Every structure is written in C-alpha cells, then in structure tokens.
Amino acid sequence: MAVGLLLIILMFAMDKGNEAEHYHAGTRAWSNVFVGAFFFTALALAAAFFLGLQYAAEAGWATTVKRVIEAVTAYLKWGLSFMLLLFILGQLHVHHIYHWMADGIATPGHENYDDVIANKIGYFGIFWWIRTILYMIGWYWFTMKLCKNSEEADKLDIDVNNSYHWKNVKLGAWFMVLFAVTSSTSSWDWLMSIDTHWFSTLYGWYIFSGMWISAIIAITVLVIWLKKLGYLEFVTESTIHDLGKWMFAISFLWTYLYFSQFMLIWYADIPEEVIYFQTRWESYKALMWTVFFINFAFPMIMLMSRDSKRNFFFLMFIATIIFVGHYLDLIMCVMPGTVGHAWTGLSWMELGPLFFFLGLFIYVVLTALAKKPLMVKNHPYLQESLHHST
C-alpha cells in the first residue's frame, strides 16, 4: 500500500498533460485513481450481491465460506467513501473525468457548450447526485444488515426457528430487486457517462459481469489461501470446485455481453454509437485484444476440465491472471473517454493505484476476517455444506 501511495504521488508529479491532444494535466493520473477506486468498490459490492443471492436462493453449498464472502463486503464502506470523494472533487473541477460536470456545458453561447450533453443535462446535475447517494445508502444498508444478522445468529446457543436466517432470506430477496436495477443504472451514471455522447443498454450488464467474476476470484483465492494455512479445513474440495465453475461460467457471460455490445453497434452502423469502439480500435487495439484473450480464451481453455478446478495451485494461478484481465478491461472502459488518443500504452502509472487499493483491500478484508469465527453457527444448511460433494 505504501509503494502504491508513493507511485501515485510520483504519477501526479509526472502527468503534465498534452495540450495538442486536448487533455488536462493530471487527467491520466486521476483516471488511474478512479479505475482503482471503482474496481475494488465494485468487487466488494458484487460480493454483497453474491451473499444476498445465496440467501435468496436458499443455497447451502457455500455456507462454509460465508465468513470469507462477508469479509470481502467489509471493503464496501471504504470503497464507497473513496468514490464519493472522487465525485465531489470532480464537481469542484479538481479533475476532468466527467465532461458533463464542466461549467457552462448546457449554457448556449458558453465556450464549453455541448448541444448533445445539453439535451441530457436533466439526467445529470442534481438528479445524478440524488441517484448516487441513494445507491450508496441502499447498498451499504442491505450489506450491513445481512452481515449483522449473521453475526447475531452466531451469538445464540441455538436458534430454534432459524429466525436470523429467515430475516436474511427476505433481505437477500429485496437486495436482489434493488441490485437488479441499480447495478445497471449506477454503471451508466458512474462509467458510461464518461463517454457522455454514447449510450448502450447492455453496458450495465457488461460491467456487472466483470465485477461479479472479480468478486468470485477474490473469494476463491482467499478460501484456497486460508485452507492452505489450515484455517478452513472444513471447506470441501467440491466447494472450491464450484467456485471454479462460477469463475468459468461468468467468463462466458462477460464474453457474451462484450461481444454482443460490439456486434450490435457494428451492425447498426450508427455514427454516434460507432465512435465508442472507433476510439478504442484506433488507440487501444493491443489492450482490446489482450483483454479479450485473457478474459475469454484463457479461462475457456484452462478451466474447461474438472481437474483444473480441483488443483488449488493451478486455480489460483488462473484466477490471478483473469483478475488482472478484468482490471485491464476497466482501464479500457475509462481511459478512451478521459485521456483519448493521447494514450501511450500501459506503464508504471497504472501500477500505483492498483497497488494502493489492492493493499488497502487486503488489509480491510483480513482485519474483518480476524474479528469473527471462520465457522458460522446456527445456519440451517451448514451440514449440507460440510458434506457438499460434486
């Protein structure tokens, strides 16, 4: 984390901008900080979604790793705090990630006037801020309540009616409803609005699939690491195998949405939509192909067999590479809309925020893990999970 912070300071000192390419000094640095902040926030949020999904579906197989999932969600309040700070700094014009936040953007005659954004300005402005605050409050409240009820169930000697579990089943179901809507709309608000002239209804699902697989990878790596250290000896090989299957399956979901979005825009051939991929094709081609190969072809080939998902070392190795692939995918989502054609390729500048937020994420998650027993109590499906076999 200290190395990351040092690289971030150095990155801001070195990023002088490029007037010829029409981007401000510090824009790449701020964009990299935004990528790191969003990636780990989205990862923690997706873990909260996965936790709620287990309750809503009344699934028992992952009960023995529930404490790990809850620990990953502990980062959510940190991530949301960083995101809120970045949004406030953007509104104060400290950075220029969101073009629609510029002064006079909807004022005819102003030097910053943009008629396309002016027609959409009702969706942004104060309405954007209201949505953002509601997302953060809603996500945090549901996550906090799910974890709190789980903790309260542990304090009882015997929960005869499984009352806390059934409270979480209802909470999980309502959280799925909230998440189904807000995961898409927040992706439009926080990421897609960077390319304000462009719109895709598939975008929210595409971002969701990327954050979901990143969360599954973080959970899988933590479970394997803790099991290797002897802390999760009760987790069966089949449970880890199932986490590997989720990793494999969501890689295909991500690929389906990634390709569908490209295919629909290419087939429609509408200039204001094509521009999104044109920028990436002209200045980010190597990154596009790298992301596609790592996030699709690599897991398809390497995780196809049953044995590959039961070899812990191999699974951790593949998971780490896919994790990096989805971080690169987020860089490709953000940079073309902020730095544009001034992009000079991946460099040490991308490492600072990655190291800093990864270090903070690991610290928060491990601290949360140390505060609770790793084995849950009074869960009606605990025996099913302890004897889970596939």
142 alpha-carbon distance from chain centroid: 17
Classify the C-alpha dihedral 74-78-80-81 as positive or negative: positive
Q: What is the mean pLDDT of the chain?
A: 91
pLDDT tens readout for residues 91-127: 999 998 999 999 888 888 888 898 888 888 889 989 9
Phi, psi of 181, rounded to the nearest 5 degrees:
-85, -50
Determine if the pTM surpasses 0.75: yes
Tell me if 271 sits within 8 A of 260, measured CB to CB.
no
**Confidence at residue 163, expressed as pLDDT on a 0 to 100 scale:** 87
**Looking at the predicted structure, is the pLDDT value of residue 390 above 80?**
no
Q: Quote the CA–CA distance of 61 and 26 in Å, as a whole number.
A: 47
Residue 23 has a pLDDT of 65
Q: Please, how many CA atoms are within 13 Å of residue 172, restricted to the half-sphere of its CB?
A: 23
| Nearest residue to 123 via CA among 176, 41, 199, 183 | 199
